Amino acid sequence: MNKINKTFSSIEQVAGQYLKNSSQQTQNTTSEGLSFEEIFLQKAKEDGGVKFSKHASQRLDDRNITLTAEQNERLEGGIEKANEKGIKDSLVLMDSLAFIVNVPNKTVVTAMDQTETQGNIFTNIDGAVII
């Protein structure tokens, strides 16, 4: 260090002073011993099912639509069929319900019942699945 100006003349002088413990790599783990990556991958596998956007959840509540476990499975199957055909945004018709789904994200964007589908025009979809 230059004692007169109190400046460092090289990066090596700074590195030694400020980065003393940089050679040690730490592994962050939870109390169960799992790393962030392990938890992230585990959650990604668990969340493999159909998701509902905030808007879709609100529409389901507003319209008093509840899905059974069997309907959820059928909806997920319809989304898988759409994915196999390369559809990105799909209209999924099931029973008396209609869903607009973002297929790659497996996310229901909006939902409606049969009374609201009459006379409606669905835009910005590139495929439809009837299950």
Asked whether residue 5 is assigned to any structural domain, the reply reads no
Whichever domain contains 98, its CATH number is 3.30.2310
Domain span at residue 108 reads: 49-130
Tell me the chain's radius of gyration from C-alpha atoms.
26
Q: Which of 122, 123, 126, 72 is nearest to 104 (CA)?
A: 126
Q: What pLDDT is recorded for position 30?
A: 58
Q: What pLDDT is recorded for position 48?
A: 67
Q: Kindly report the pTM of this predicted structure.
A: 0.63
Domain count, the chain: 2
pLDDT in tens, the chain (131 residues): 555 566 766 777 767 666 665 555 555 555 667 777 777 666 655 666 889 999 999 999 998 889 998 999 999 999 999 999 999 999 999 999 999 999 999 999 999 988 887 778 888 999 999 99
Asked whether residue 6 is assigned to any structural domain, the reply reads no
Same domain for 71 and 26, yes or no, is no
Q: What pLDDT is recorded for position 49?
A: 82
* φ, ψ for residue 41, nearest 5 deg: -65, -35
**113-116 — which CB contacts under 8 Å span 24+ positions?**
113/63, 113/65, 116/63
